[in-house]
Amino acid sequence: MKRAEIIAVGSELLLGQIVNTNAQFIAKQLSTIGISHHFQTVVGDNSLRLRNTLEVASSRCDLIILTGGLGPTKDDLTKEVVAEFLGKSLIMHQKSLDSIEAYFKRVNREMTENNKKQALVIEDSIVFENHNGMAPGMCVSYNDKQFILLPGPPKEMIPMFEQLVLPYLLSGSDQTTIVSKELKFFGIGESILETKVLDLLENQSNPTIAPLASEGEVMLRLTASAKDKEEANQLIHETEMKINERVGQYIYSTNGDNLFTVLVKLLNEKNMTIAAAESLTGGLFSKRITDIPGVSSIFKGSIVCYQNEIKANILGVSNELLDTKGAVSFECAKALAENVQKLCNSSIGVSFTGEAGPEASEQVPVGKVFIGIKIGEQEAIVKELQLSGTREQIRLSSVKHATNLLVKLLKECQDL
Amino acid sequence: MKRAEIIAVGSELLLGQIVNTNAQFIAKQLSTIGISHHFQTVVGDNSLRLRNTLEVASSRCDLIILTGGLGPTKDDLTKEVVAEFLGKSLIMHQKSLDSIEAYFKRVNREMTENNKKQALVIEDSIVFENHNGMAPGMCVSYNDKQFILLPGPPKEMIPMFEQLVLPYLLSGSDQTTIVSKELKFFGIGESILETKVLDLLENQSNPTIAPLASEGEVMLRLTASAKDKEEANQLIHETEMKINERVGQYIYSTNGDNLFTVLVKLLNEKNMTIAAAESLTGGLFSKRITDIPGVSSIFKGSIVCYQNEIKANILGVSNELLDTKGAVSFECAKALAENVQKLCNSSIGVSFTGEAGPEASEQVPVGKVFIGIKIGEQEAIVKELQLSGTREQIRLSSVKHATNLLVKLLKECQDL
């Protein structure tokens, strides 16, 4: 059983300029494949202190993963210190040098001499090519200990870890194929989901199942290792079917898409357009939809009707309705959805009205939300919610509930 | 000169369930007061490994700051391990026990026996009261080494650090007063700002000056220590004046307010209302304004006019203008600002049109943005920008440029 230590090298971490997200990423990945790790260390760009850190780490662990310090400047000294610590030399890796030279040619910039340093690797190491930057990663073994050196920028380190380091760690060579799949859930809490699949979680080995929660959603990440892609896919398929039987109704995506991307794709498929009337959400639904490039084919626009005057004058909600039922009401949500559909000439109108807090208004408790949905010629639907959390959480949850409901309705209506 | 090490205790960090933001926070604070630190370590809830970490840390540092592991459960063992390591006992801290008992009384819950454990402190230590939770922090000295133990939840640790630990570290006792002030800048890059105040940065001692960049803005945090608040304020005032002379025109806030809060307060002061027409920003301006509670007095609403059809049919931009000048044009931004002001019956109309990317459209390069502003009866102003970065950065930068411009215009026009 391997014991790992993660070492991040970089004075910017000691100054608090950046947070060590690399350690969190690698920690999660290691736990996914069953490698336990007991320590994480951060050390500055200083050769004496890095050497001290290597001594401490190799006294208590077998697998030492270092991030950072592989760049071209004098401050970057991870390779140099590890090589010296192990009594090994640095040698030029021709393939990496070629790709660095090609990079400079491509961006039409002159390659300075110090960039060659990035193509140096520790002798006898296995080299991980960098497809998103210049400095390659590497693994060198010594006295039953393994040292893995990875670049610091997350956009280089993460794909290198997923595509090259994970297969290497799982197989001891790079002959194993790793496949992972993300099952994304909405409408079920993390603890209930865990309870429903507890036996699978407890007996997992291949694929491993890692639950992750963020932004009011839960995800299960299945990761299988096998000799080829087909076998790995088959292993994942079997576990996915078991999960599907129990909690399949809460899964909205299995290909990495988020809730908003799923909705946008469905609307594109069905050649439908959408427009929104946003009161408490204040533009958040529109913002999340337009985070996705190229949505102008399906998203017409929206009316952020924060004041009742806008609900009345632009969206045609009658003052009588606003006076008798109030802006936060079933009737107002219905009228807003119907009227924004008509006003924007869209296939779908969706509306949001409610109380996001932090202070409750006279008649409405914090978290009371009505979502209106009008699709084509169908009768408008209104969903009433009682949400909890901060203002930010209530607004985000409203937007996600509506998006999830739209996805369900569009999937159900095959004839749309 | 003290050398510090930060140790975070918690298995949830090793599993990657949370990221170690405590280390970043403490790192920044230490650099602000000139204490250098060379190592950060993360260790799980395991007494043997925590002891190993203490041995390593005390062999290379004088000030050891631990976060986490002060809670009521069996897993929480930081105090116990540190006490054993130093050959000291744990004793009951009556004041902390009283406040824990008072807490349970207040929330009307029965206090279980294990909660008493949270009031235990290491003998001979200085106790830091916890005003946001139950477990107190403490500092114990031993053989010229100091061990500071702090709770893990950031909402308890951060105020305890700012209010009690910083003064303690600066004075060796708790008699010093610390005052900090944040000068927030917009429209000036971090490197130019640093160049302009380089001599101040290099010769800083009291107050210290820490530059921080995030979300396309820069902030300078001044922190002064003195025997009382008045003296600390005076020290800050002197440095602030020097900074003001050089780059004062870029400062938009000195009291912690963000750009949007500054705009909302100005509008409230002047009894003015605002409405927006958002094309490329897709609702982001409205979302950021309505992040702030209680804005319904100044924010009427907005029209997210993502498709040209909405610009024409709802906002009354002529099809001729859209055909000849295009949606991303000076003329369209002007018309949108004028028309949304009229449509929403607001004192101010602001508009956003541009190309957020990632793909350029036929005639418009990515990052080209026009912002329109119409205030009262004044002639509309249009500002053309060429922004760079990702889609997300271009959208956020557009919204911030407009907000900054609005703040400047509202401050200049005393008669509004």
CATH number at residue B88: 3.40.980.10
The C-alpha atoms of residue A298 and residue A275 are separated, in whole angstroms, by: 9
- Please name the residues in contact with B153: beta carbons below 8 A apart, sequence gap of 6 or more: B133
Max mean pLDDT range (A221-230, B72-81, B347-356): B347-356
Q: How confident is the model at residue B267 (pLDDT cuts 50, 70, 90)?
A: very high
pLDDT attached to residue B173: 46
Residue B305 pLDDT greater than 60, yes or no: yes
The C-alpha atoms of residue B270 and residue B290 are separated, in whole angstroms, by: 19
Q: Does B300 contact A314 at a Cβ distance shorter than 8 Å?
A: no
Q: How confident is the model at residue A358 (pLDDT cuts 50, 70, 90)?
A: confident
Same domain, B396 and B365: yes
- Chain B positions in Cβ-Cβ contact with residue A201 (cut-off 8 Å): none
The DSSP output letter for B138 is E
Q: How confident is the model at residue A176 (pLDDT cuts 50, 70, 90)?
A: low
Same domain, B295 and B243: no
Nearest to B31 by CA among B195, B254, B211: B211
Here the CATH number for the domain that contains residue A323 is 3.90.950.20
Here the CATH number for the domain that contains residue B229 is 3.30.70.2860
Give B414 or B328, the one with higher predicted confidence.
Answer: B328
pLDDT attached to residue B211: 75
pLDDT attached to residue A73: 80
pLDDT attached to residue A42: 96
Same domain, A149 and A40: yes
Which domain-ending residue is among A141, A174, A207? A174
CB neighbourhood size of A76 (10 A): 21
The C-alpha atoms of residue A268 and residue B363 are separated, in whole angstroms, by: 25
The minimal CB distance from A38 to the residues B23, B30, B49 is found for B49
pLDDT attached to residue A390: 83
Residue pair A109/A145 in contact by the 8 Å Cβ criterion: no
- Chain A positions in Cβ-Cβ contact with residue B14 (cut-off 8 Å): 27, 31, 37-38, 40
pLDDT attached to residue A247: 95
Same domain, A50 and A143: yes
For chain B, the average pLDDT equals 90
Same domain, B295 and B316: yes
Q: Write the pLDDT tens digit of every residue in B194-216.
A: 889 988 887 777 887 877 777 77
Which domain-ending residue is among A198, A222, A253? A253
**Closest CA in chain A for residue B33:** A15
- SS3 call for A89: coil
Same domain, A186 and A286: no
pLDDT attached to residue B113: 82
Q: Does B309 contact A345 at a Cβ distance shorter than 8 Å?
A: yes
Residue A288 pLDDT greater than 60, yes or no: yes
Residue B108 pLDDT greater than 80, yes or no: no
DSSP A265-329: HHHHHTT--EEEEESTTTTHHHHHHHTSTTGGGTEEEEEE--SHHHHHHTT---HHHHHHT-SSS
Minimum mean pLDDT among A15-24, A39-48, B175-184, B240-249: which range? B175-184
For chain A, the average pLDDT equals 90
Bridge partners of B351? B277, B372
Q: How confident is the model at residue B183 (pLDDT cuts 50, 70, 90)?
A: very high
How many domains is chain B partitioned into structurally?
3
The C-alpha atoms of residue A208 and residue A168 are separated, in whole angstroms, by: 17
Q: How confident is the model at residue A18 (pLDDT cuts 50, 70, 90)?
A: confident
pLDDT attached to residue B175: 55
Q: Does A310 contact B20 at a Cβ distance shorter than 8 Å?
A: no
The C-alpha atoms of residue B394 and residue B400 are separated, in whole angstroms, by: 10
Give B305 or B207, the one with higher predicted confidence.
Answer: B305
Q: How confident is the model at residue B149 (pLDDT cuts 50, 70, 90)?
A: very high
The encoded tokens of residue B298 equal: 């100044």
CA-to-CA dists, residue B189 to A19, B84, B186, B213, B390, angstroms:
21, 50, 8, 9, 17
Residue A296 pLDDT greater than 80, yes or no: yes
Residue pair B295/B260 in contact by the 8 Å Cβ criterion: no
Same domain, B133 and B216: no
**Closest CA in chain A for residue B358:** A293
pLDDT attached to residue A174: 47
* Range A327-338 average pLDDT: 98
- Chain B positions in Cβ-Cβ contact with residue A359 (cut-off 8 Å): 293-294
pLDDT attached to residue A416: 54
Share of chain A above pLDDT 70, in %: 97
The C-alpha atoms of residue B416 and residue B413 are separated, in whole angstroms, by: 6
Same domain, B232 and B148: no
Same domain, B190 and B120: no
Q: How confident is the model at residue B150 (pLDDT cuts 50, 70, 90)?
A: very high
Which domain-ending residue is among B173, B189, B204? B173
Give B29 or B335, the one with higher predicted confidence.
Answer: B335
Please count the residue pairs, one from chain A and one from chain B, whose beta carbons lie less than 8 angstroms apart.
215
Question: Angle at Cα B137 formed by Cα B205 and Cα B70, nearest 5°?
Answer: 135
* Range A89-111 average pLDDT: 86
The C-alpha atoms of residue B323 and residue A300 are separated, in whole angstroms, by: 18
Q: Does A345 contact B307 at a Cβ distance shorter than 8 Å?
A: no
- Chain A positions in Cβ-Cβ contact with residue B41 (cut-off 8 Å): 39-42
Q: Write the pLDDT tens digit of every residue in B367-409.
A: 999 999 999 999 999 999 999 888 998 999 999 999 999 999 9
pLDDT attached to residue A334: 98
Q: Does B296 contact A306 at a Cβ distance shorter than 8 Å?
A: yes
Residue A387 pLDDT greater than 60, yes or no: yes
Same domain, B21 and B168: yes
* Range A349-377 average pLDDT: 92
Q: Does B344 contact A20 at a Cβ distance shorter than 8 Å?
A: no
**Closest CA in chain B for residue A214:** B17
The C-alpha atoms of residue B207 and residue A54 are separated, in whole angstroms, by: 37
Q: How confident is the model at residue A415 (pLDDT cuts 50, 70, 90)?
A: low
Same domain, A248 and A373: no
What residues make up the domain containing A89?
A: 3-174
Same domain, B23 and B128: yes
